[in-house]
A and B are shown apart, each in its own frame.
Chain A
Amino acid sequence: MSSPYLPPEILDYIVDFLHDDPDALKKICLVSKSWIPRTRGHLFAKVELRYEVHLKSWKKIFSDPSTSPAHFTKSLHIGCARAVVTSDAEVGNWLTGFTHIVRLGVETRGAYCGGPAVSLVPFHGFSRTIKSLRIKSVDYAPSQIFGFILSSPLLEDLNLVGCETSIDDGDGSDGPSTFVRSSNPPVLTGSLKLFLEGGMRPIASRLLSIPGGIHFRNLTLTWNLVEDLLSITALVGTCSRTLESLTVTCNLDGTPVRYLHPR
């Protein structure tokens, strides 16, 4: 029996129609080898490596970046960033296959308990294509984060949660220490979300110093320290021409109810 033939445009239509149905896409891969490349574009568009076991599996299965489906990936979330070491960024290692990352999420879980110093350096190779960056961690110093931001010329959206700004490594005016300052800084025209328990000043002051300014349309800012209000005021003022949506959450510590007892 001859192999079934479908015109490429019909196959594309079918595969695109099933883009959000991974089970169906996996079954399509079994029909014919010629159907696999198109299907992989959807199957690997979003990769989440939440735990170290996921990371190890990926590195084992796709040990050769040249044949890895990583280049299909647009959205990468790494929930075990401490397991990603600087050597992972070396040429030929698994991370170099992710050449088209648009959305990057980097997360570390729990408190940092020693071990090798964590760094954003392994992710630096992605930065030329990233439009959306989310960092949820207490491991990275503001200068590291800001250096990464500056090296991402297409960056539009920024979401920073829990970053350990209390171990600030500068006053925010001295620029990044980890990366070379970019001659083409990001325009930052999308959304900015800051939830920084150690205070937002170290990050906010650096953002406000970006050449060309910041032009966010959406600001979602959580006010954890009294002095954060000054940073919020400055960010709103700087983005006032472009601002369409503003959310300010007051999250100051305290007790909502005071109980008064007669002595």
Chain B
Amino acid sequence: MVRPFGIYIHADSLLPFLGKLGSTSVDLSKATSLKNVTFRINLSGPEWVTIALKTVTPEHRNLLQISISADYYPTIVMFDADDTVRGVEEQTPGQWLELDRLLTQLWESHTIPPKVLCRVPSWKEKSARDSMGCLLPEATRGGTVNLFDA
């Protein structure tokens, strides 16, 4: 979460669409012939992906691969008065952690676990592996996901 400190000028508006999405997402529960699923996440955050993947069940026996590509993810960079960077925060860390748990559960609940591919961009000093390590710590540590640089 972003910790409030001082008074800030927001360089851009908040993301108004996030509230509109609610809990709407794709229902995959009846698509049991699925072999490959790919989601490319943008500013919306990963919540819609998590909701969609929650509808994957053990009945999806043909599911071979889940690909998640975070082309870029919402980040807040906070500056001090002398324009030095005070910190970097992700705007939707809770959503990523929920996706993290779900990917691990999915991997464990399938007899033949689908291959999970994640692509994330490197951001300044953060490598793709570091970024995904922060966003999906459990899945990354447990070897559930295979990481690729975007």
Interface residue ranges, A against B (CB under 8 Å) = 226, 229-230, 232-233, 236-237, 239-252, 254-263
Contact = CB atoms under 8 A, between A and B. Distances in A.
A149 to B, nearest CB: 23
B36 A245 contact: yes
> Which residue among A240, A258, A262, A263 has the maximum number of chain B CB atoms within 10 Å of its CB?
A258
Given A247-B40, A252-B43, A262-B7, A257 B31 contact: no
Contacts of B83: 261
A254 B75 CA distance: 12
B33 A236 contact: no
B141 interface: no
A120 B10 CA distance: 47
Given A244-B33, A245-B36, A246-B34, A258 B43 contact: no
Nearest to A244: B35
Interface of B: 6-12, 15, 17, 20-21, 24-28, 30-31, 33-44, 48, 52, 62, 72-81, 83, 91
Given A256-B73, A262-B81, A233 B26 contact: yes
A259 B27 contact: no
Contacts of A233: 24-27
Given A237-B27, A243-B31, A258 B74 contact: yes
Nearest to A233: B26
Nearest to A237: B27
Given A236-B27, A243-B34, A245-B34, A260 B10 contact: yes
A252 B42 contact: yes
A259 B31 CA distance: 41
B28 A250 contact: no
A258 B11 CA distance: 6
A244 B26 contact: no
Contacts of A248: 26, 38-40, 52
B120 to A, nearest CB: 12
A236 B27 CA distance: 7
Contacts of A258: 10-12, 74-77, 91
Contact of A241 (B9, B10, B28, B33): B33
Given A229-B48, A252-B44, A245 B35 contact: yes
A260 B37 CA distance: 36
A260 to B, nearest CB: 4
A261 B8 contact: yes
A24 B76 CA distance: 59
A259 B33 contact: no
Nearest to B12: A255
Contact of B28 (A230, A236, A251, A252): A236
Contacts of A261: 8-9, 11, 79, 83
Contact of A260 (B20, B43, B52, B78): B78
Contacts of A229: 21, 24-26, 48
